Structure 1
């Protein structure tokens, strides 16, 4: 079985879409006006962004992007920092090299690579 899509409610569809495309390589695969956007990853899974009001995700909620290695995690971290995004530095956590970044959509994104595999 393959995950087809994940729907995320966000207050600002355009800003969230731009952020996910710019930093995480997602591609637009459709638009539902200003209220919806459909983004796809390299495995053809889709993230649907749906406009909503007063969105509040639980503190532990996040989506994750796995990188091939420490260098890629560090490079993405540095790119975000250079662009003025407030993001704490990567750290060794649960067997991975990881950092978390808040998205414009109000949810957290984890960037990691697994260590020792």
Structure 2
């Protein structure tokens, strides 16, 4: 079994599209105004971004501990990603990557407080 898509509710589809394209390299596949965008990564994963307020609902509130995680191949990839976030103003030296739970991990918040994780388990 393979997970092939996820619908992530966001406050701003436009902001989220730019974020996932610039930071994670997703490409926009389809868009329905301000309500829904479909993005794909190089591995074939589909990320659907929806703005519930544009669909008549409320903006999302995620519970403590909810996060979106990405694995990268090497510790250097995590460090490179951290520098990219610093350049974009999304991270500071205080949030630098750390060795934890058998990996090398970076946590940061974006898109109105959603927690993101980038980890490598390479030695």
TM over 0.5: yes
Q: Normalising by structure 2, what TM-score? A: 0.86
Query: Corresponding residue for 2:28?
Result: 28
Structure 1 runs of 4+ aligned residues shifted over 2 Å read none
1:1-117 matches, within 5 Å, as 1-52=1-52, 53-87=58-92, 88-104=95-111, 106-116=113-123
Aligned residue for 2:105, secondary structure, equals: strand
Aligned-pair CA distance for 1:8 = 0.7
What is the distance in 2 between the residues matched to 1:74 and 1:6? 26
- Answer yes or no: is the 8 Å Cα contact 1:100–1:110 preserved in 2: yes
> What RMSD, in angstroms, separates the aligned Cα atoms of the two structures?
1.4
Q: Normalising by structure 1, what TM-score? A: 0.91
What is the distance in 2 between the residues matched to 1:45 and 1:16? 16
- Answer yes or no: is the 8 Å Cα contact 1:64–1:111 preserved in 2: yes
What is the distance in 2 between the residues matched to 1:34 and 1:90? 34
- Answer yes or no: is the 8 Å Cα contact 1:21–1:27 preserved in 2: yes
Aligned residue for 1:54, secondary structure, equals: coil
Higher RCO, 1 vs 2 (CA within 8 Å, ≥6 residues apart): 1
Higher helix share: 2
State how many pairs are aligned. Answer: 116
What is the distance in 1 between the residues matched to 2:8 and 2:51? 9
- Answer yes or no: is the 8 Å Cα contact 1:73–1:98 preserved in 2: yes
